[in-house]
Amino acid sequence: PEAITVAELANRMAERVADVVKSLMQSGIMATQNQSIDADTAELIIEEFGHRVTRVSDADVEDVIKTADDKPEDLRPRPPVITIMGHVDHGKTSLLDRIRQANVTAGEAGGITQHIGAYQVQTKGGDILTFLDTPGHAAFTSMRSRGAQVTDIVVLVVAADDAVMPQTVEAINHAKAAGVPMIVAINKIDKPSANPTKVRTDLLQHEVVVEQMSGDVQDVEVSAHTGQGLDELLEAIALQAELLELKANPDRAAEGAVIEAQLDVGRGPVATVLVQNGTLKQGDIFVVGEQYGKVRALINDKGERVAEAGPSVPVEVLGLNGTPEAGDVLNVTSTEAQAREIAEYRAHAAKEKRAAAGAATTLEQLMKKA
């Protein structure tokens, strides 16, 4: 069982240490502030002070948010989630925009899709693909460092007139470290100075062997400007996704990752969440990082209100008590008390960690001076 020092217990209850020591003494326990007491004793004291017993460890949190492993027969195919990476100015944004524009459905007013940080398109072959609208290595790295592995496939954009550059190499390393398969999009093929062969040979030096070089990494020549090769690129992604046999269980409590979040003047805290397993529904109670809430509304990438969102679907979530951070994991819980306790526990743990880091720095500075 868990143990806690008297000082820490007092701190968490926001009571004076001396009062806690006194209360322990009255129960026949002699303990100084730095001594540890067991969880049962702590619980007695907490009740004595008229407080509620809340989550006290990571294991407790795990107990609440962990769900049973999905049975194979409950798993259904889900769309792939794609991130576009590559060197600056090689055309990531242009490519994302072009894919989005070419695939907006007829019903959308003026073809303008609301920006929610991710969107879905349908290929000519009928496959649904989810694109994360966050090109850039910083987003990828920060998400991964927060424990969110959101990408199934990386599209590596390399400009045919520039070939492999430092951030191209960085992107290759990110994809390899994450164990995510890559598809090479050789962009700007419309330019007279385009040299796709140089791109392919450059990539060889980084152990990326494309199909044209008899390897197994798909490569497609594209132009974000003319639209050339875009259908082929989408089909290449769909093919890669098929090989991955991506599956999820839509019939369970949702789990997802925050793609982006902000405080909206009119609507309060809003988070774009990529549902990774289960189905998120209006009215669901959830904890997300150090925040919690109850789903007041879900809005899809077309700006429409939806009642629910299944695996690989990005949605805006309204009904948060605060603004979470990109990469935070969302879990649906059964009660609001659970969600709040976990959020509070995490916020407290994060605060302690920062304080400890601060103390360590101070100590280091003192040592340096001495």
Residues that bind Mg ion (CB under 5 A): 92-93
**Residue 63 assigned to a binding site:** no
How is residue 53 written in tokens? 């017993």
Positive or negative, the CA dihedral 335, 336, 337, 343 is positive
User: Which of 190, 5, 1, 164 shows the shortest CA–CA distance to 95?
Assistant: 190
314 binding partner (options ligand GDP, Mg ion, none; Cβ < 5 to 8 Å by kind): none
Q: Is 87 annotated as a binding residue?
A: yes
Distance between CA 350 and CA 338 in Å, rounded? 18
Residue 79 interface partner, choices Mg ion, ligand GDP, none, CB cut-off 5-8 Å depending on type: none
Of 137 and 191, nearer to ligand GDP (C-beta) is 191
Which residue carries 């004076």 as its tokens? 16
Choosing from 36, 93, 113, 300, the residue that interacts with ligand GDP (CB under 6 A) is 93
* Alpha carbon of residue 312 to chain centroid: 12
Q: Kindly tell me which residue out of 103, 187, 279, 338 binds ligand GDP, with binding defined by CB under 6 A.
A: 187
167 is a contact residue toward ligand GDP (CB under 6 A)? no
Stretch that binds ligand GDP, among 68-76, 90-98, 176-184, 314-322 (CB under 6 A): 90-98
DSSP string, 308-354: EE-TT-EEEEEEESS---TT-EEEEES-HHHHHHHHHHHHHHHHHHH
Give the shortest CB-185-to-Mg ion separation in angstroms.
14
Residue 93 assigned ligand-binding role: yes
Distances (CA, A) of 32 to 11, 223, 353: 14, 71, 24
**What span, in angstroms and rounded, lies between the C-alpha atoms of 289 and 241?**
29
Edge-to-edge order in the sheet of strand 118-122: 118-122, 128-132, 81-86, 153-159, 182-187, 219-221
| Interaction partner, residue 57 (ligand GDP, Mg ion, none; CB < 5-8 Å by kind) | none
Exactly one of 55, 92, 100, 340 binds ligand GDP (CB under 6 A); that residue is 92
Q: Please indicate if the annotation marks 28 as binding a ligand.
A: no
Is residue 189 marked as binding?
A: yes
Ligand-binding annotation for 317, yes or no, is no
List the end-to-end C-alpha distance of the chain, in Å, as a whole number.
41
Give the integer Cα–Cα distance in Å for 353 and 180.
Answer: 31
Q: Is 60 in the site for ligand GDP (CB under 6 A)?
A: no
Q: Applying CB under 6 A, which part among 18-26, 222-230, 265-273, 330-338 lies near ligand GDP?
A: 222-230
Tracing tokens 């989005």 back to the chain, one arrives at: 100
Is residue 102 a contact point for ligand GDP (CB under 6 A)? no
Nearer to ligand GDP, 119 or 292 (CB): 119
Q: Annotation-wise, does 90 bind a ligand?
A: yes
Q: Which residue is nearest to Mg ion (CB)?
A: 93
Tell me how far, at minimum, the Cβ of 93 lies from ligand GDP, in Å: 3
Question: Apex CA 231: angle with CA 226 and CA 236, to 5°?
Answer: 130
Binding-site residues for GTP sit at: 86-93, 133-137, 187-190
Q: Which stretches of the chain bind ligand GDP, using CB under 6 A?
A: 86, 88-94, 135, 187-188, 190-191, 223-225
Task: Tell me the binding residues.
Answer: 86-93, 133-137, 187-190
